[in-house]
Amino acid sequence: MKIMIDAGHGGKDPGAIGNGLREKDLTLKLALRIGQLLAARGADVRYTRTDDTFVELSDRARAANTAKVDYFLSIHINAGGGTGFESFTYTGTSGATAALRNVIHRKVAAAFVASGLPDRGRKQANLAVLRETNMPAALLEYGFIDTAKDAALLKTEAFLEQIATATADGVAEAFGLPAAVVPAPVDTVSEWARAARDWAVSAGITDGTRPRDGVTREEVWTMLWRMNGGK
């Protein structure tokens, strides 16, 4: 199956912000990991963005339509003082769209409940990326960035891995993908470096990806520039 994974927000649009976290960073990390896990099961994975880039909502939907993917999955983190996980399909949709979302929702909601956060339910809304895509689509809201309990979990690699795996398992079950050996996380960070990485991400110095790659002079210049207030 061919899937487009949409990491919400990006670039000039940070999304929701709270408790030292930015939505755009979390959505990208989750999207890349979900995609890696699905590719290991044989899925043809596409992305609306793979770095800290701003992409218009219509362009996200257009990319999925042009690629003629079988499924569109949009990754988001909630805000507004609530707690827990919820999922959305476009207003009035049913059939395959509802059935596929229900399988994915069940897997992810179970991971949240196991961590002490509630299942907020399956919902529908008039959201652009759901309205403008031609294929079955869902948008997932993985916890509330401005709620301390949710944010504390979202700051841990273990919880992010748990919910990414649950999402990939849900998609795999919904589309009948084969089981696969789980690949190592795309961005494994050494234990001793995690606090420094999290600080650098929250300070806007780096997006937190490619932790063990070499650093170019351009990247050093950019990080120093950002530390001194550059945009």
7 and 118 share one domain: yes
Alpha helix ranges (H) inside 40-187: 57-67, 95-114, 128-131, 148-154, 157-175
Q: pLDDT value at position 43? A: 96
% the chain with pLDDT above 70: 92
Checking if the pLDDT of 40 tops 90, the result is: yes
141 is catalytic: yes
40 in helix, strand or coil?
coil
Better-scored residue on pLDDT, 53 or 200 = 53
Predicted local confidence at residue 224, as pLDDT: 80
Most confident of 31-40, 178-187, 209-218: 31-40
180 domain residue, yes or no: no
Q: Choose the weakest-confidence range: 24-28, 139-143, 192-196.
A: 192-196
Average pLDDT over residues 109-123: 98
Q: Could you tell me if residue 111 is inside a domain?
A: yes
pLDDT tens digits, one per residue of 210-230:
676 677 777 778 778 777 777
- Are residues 115 and 7 both part of a single domain? yes
Q: Find residue 10's DSSP bridge partners.
A: 13
Average pLDDT over residues 117-137: 98
pLDDT tens-place string over residues 194-203: 778 778 777 7
* Judgement on whether residues 118 and 212 belong to the same structural domain of the protein: no
Q: What pLDDT is stored for residue 225 in this prediction?
A: 78
SS3 sequence of 52-85: CCCCCHHHHHHHHHHHCCCEEEEEEEECCCCCCE
Q: Do 160 and 200 belong to one domain?
A: no
pLDDT band of 192, cuts 50, 70, 90: confident
pLDDT at 180 exceeding the cut of 70: no
> Is residue 40 a contact partner of residue 181, using CB atoms and an 8 Å limit?
yes
Span 20-45, average pLDDT: 97
Q: What is the pLDDT of residue 197?
A: 78
Q: What is the tally of structural domains in the chain?
A: 2
Round the average pLDDT of the chain to a whole number and report it. 92
Task: Tell whether 102 and 153 lie within a shared domain.
Answer: yes
- Choose the catalytic residue: 141, 157, 173, 191: 141
Domain region containing 212: 191-227
**Are 100 and 203 in the same domain?**
no
Asked if residue 223 and residue 145 are part of one domain, the reply reads: no
Q: pLDDT, tens digit, for every residue of 79-96?
A: 999 999 999 999 999 999
Strand 85-90 and strand 137-144: pairing? antiparallel
| 20 within 8 A of 150, measured Cβ to Cβ | no
Which of the four pLDDT bands, split at 50, 70 and 90, describes residue 187? low
Strand 44-47, strand 119-125: pairing: unpaired
Q: Is the pLDDT of residue 16 over 90?
A: yes
CB 156 within 8 A of CB 91: no
Same domain membership, residue 199 and residue 91: no
pLDDT-derived band at 231 (thresholds 50, 70, 90) equals low
Whether 107 shows a pLDDT value over 90: the answer reads: yes
Whether residue 170 lies inside any domain: the answer is yes
Q: Residue 123's domain is classified under what CATH number? A: 3.40.630.40
* 67 and 159 assigned to the same domain: yes
